[in-house]
Amino acid sequence: MSNHVEPYMPGESTGQTEGPGRLKGRRILIIGGGQDSHDIADPPIGNGRAMSVLFAREGAHVAVADRSASAAQATCDQIKSEDGAAFVIEADVTSPSDIQRMIADATAKLGGLDGLVYNVGVVAEMWLTNITPEGWDKTFSANLRGAALALKEALPEMADNGAVVLISSLASLKPGSRLPAYDASKAALAGLMRHAALEGARKGIRANVIAPGLIDTSLGRLATKGRPGRAKTPVPLGRQGTGWEVANAALFLISDAAAYITGQVLSVDGGMSTLG
């Protein structure tokens, strides 16, 4: 008798759910809420778009920020097609002035700010022998400095008992991406998050990190194209994750269901960080 169990894919894993209103009335900014298809035909939904759509389904008014206005608009169009509330903010997180404007615009148009998600990932050269100062600085500027400046601007504006989620990566916990600047910048998000949690606690603001593993997104498929062995990486639960599964973890941490959780790193990786 075989003990093999087929990988489990409930409706939450594929976005086939209707929200019961866990974020009703919340005002949330998602930085990196657009999506780059990377010229992939019929691309799977990315983490940022999935979070934006799911949060809107749960009753939130969502500000979708992205360096690509068209990508953010496509996310907003999907939200509005489901009768949700969302609007676009075009901003480049490597520009401090853009970050200031983004937080100010989101706060003004939302009428306040209850939650923030930072979902940005830039990669540079593979292997330490190939890194350049320019690639290193570009990666850290987007992945880490942008998050720090966004928190600097947002925390004073955030309502009491708000929540912050920073999207990191399994690469922050164990080697394997072959991208030293990416790994290091994503690992540093945990230190930044803990400081934000410490400062935010005075207002009841929580801050946490999500570390996704192998997720089937456009960027993930592009990475696999460059390193085909990635697709053969053994995952204890037998499959790659979906953007919806990252979004559901973020929903939990943003919502009142996680009201007593702060300063933590949650891996969404099918067991790779601990079992692989």
Catalytic annotation, residues: 182
Q: In what order do the strands lie in the sheet with 113-118?
A: 85-90, 61-66, 27-31, 113-118, 158-167, 206-212, 265-268
Please report, as a single letter, which amino acid is at residue 185.
Answer: S
Contact 209, 170 (CB under 8 A): no
206 contacts: CB under 8 Å, gap ≥ 6: 162, 163, 164, 197, 200, 253, 258, 259, 261, 262
What is 38-102 written as a DSSP string?
A: TT-SSPPPPHHHHHHHHHHHTT-EEEEEES-HHHHHHHHHHHHHTT-EEEEEE--TT-HHHHHHH
Let me know: does 117 contact 94? Beta carbons within 8 Å. no
Gap between the Cα atoms of 35 and 214, Å rounded: 17
DSSP for 148-183?
HHHHHHHTTTEEEEEEEEEE--GGGTSS-S--HHHH
